[in-house]
Amino acid sequence: MSVLRLRGVGLRRDGRVLVGGVDWEVEEGQRWALLGPNGAGKTSLLEVASTYELPSDGVADVLGARVGRVDLRELRRRVGVAGPTLTRRLRPESTVLEAVLTGPRATLTAWGQSFDEAEVAAARGLLTDLGLGGLAERRVGTLSDGERQRTQLARVLRAGETAASPELVLLDEPAAGLDVGGRELLLDRLERLVAPRALVLVSHHLEELPPSVTHALILRDGGVHACGPVDEVLTGLVLSDAFGVPLEVRREQGRWHARRAD
């Protein structure tokens, strides 16, 4: 079953083409890496997939619904999104802990709700993994941009670890701002997302991809450069052409690595 289908999708802003002519389909259970040079259109495409940007051209179907023809508020409840441009959804008066606790319930406020000890413990453990353990009682409105982004990520991941997890999870550079230890804990969390949810993860680094990634889409200059099964796309030849630098790519124990070719 398709959870995301884009046909000829383009996005323009202030007369500038951010992405154009994109055909892309994500099936249930697939886990996609979205890669490309800076300015290639990765975040813009993710915003269309999340329904927070309507395509200027083409059509976008998300979870079987045509974007622009349905109630987006209801559709967005079924899509988990975390990224630097989407942290505005968090309520500034909520605590960090409340923002994470309400993730599985798809609400933005904890008012009138109660949470059991297991829910609170799971949320606190996730915050600790993402380096936010000491900020659990802080108000979201007092956080830095990076802290807000990690809070939104924790909210999505917590929902993704439950039976009520989003049907489509979209993550824009989730490892940004994390040290090596935090990155590894994040990858472990990503592996726990309840199947058969679909995942799309934007990254600048192959080392940040979880072993369970099944497919990859590479953008260049706002268009599709390569798209398909991960072993066919994440090759030295394809990535060297996409980034304009000779690269050597290898995979060891499920993890990807890239370095400049000699």
Q: From 153, 108, 106, select the one nearest 127 (Cα to Cα).
A: 153
Please tell me the pTM assigned to this model: 0.86
Indicate if the pLDDT at residue 223 is higher than 70: yes
Q: What is the pLDDT of residue 82?
A: 85
Burial class (CB in 10 A: 0-12, 13-18, 19+), 231: exposed
Q: CA-to-CA distance for 6 and 24, rounded, in angstroms?
A: 5
Q: 144 falls in which pLDDT band (50, 70, 90)?
A: confident
Q: 222 falls in which pLDDT band (50, 70, 90)?
A: very high
Domains in the chain: boundaries: 89-166
**Average pLDDT over every residue of 130-151:** 90
Retrieve residue 223's tokens.
């268009």
Q: 86 falls in which pLDDT band (50, 70, 90)?
A: low
pLDDT digits (tens, 9 = 90+) for 191-215: 877 665 799 999 999 999 999 999 9
Q: What is the pLDDT of residue 163?
A: 64
pLDDT digits (tens, 9 = 90+) for 35-67: 999 999 999 999 999 998 999 999 999 999 999
Indicate if the pLDDT at residue 87 is higher than 80: no
- Of 61-65, 83-87, 150-154, highest mean pLDDT: 61-65
Q: CA-to-CA distance for 158 and 109, rounded, in angstroms?
A: 15
Q: What is the pLDDT of residue 46?
A: 94
Measured in degrees and rounded to the nearest 5, phi and psi for residue 119 equal: -65, -45
Retrieve residue 155's tokens.
């909210």
Strand duo 31-35 + 198-202: pairing: parallel
Q: What is the pLDDT of residue 161?
A: 76
Q: 3 falls in which pLDDT band (50, 70, 90)?
A: very high
C-alpha distances in Å from residue 166, one per residue of 26, 78, 159: 15, 5, 7
Measured in degrees and rounded to the nearest 5, phi and psi for residue 61 equal: -110, 120
Average pLDDT along the chain: 90
Q: CA-to-CA distance for 10 and 148, rounded, in angstroms?
A: 29
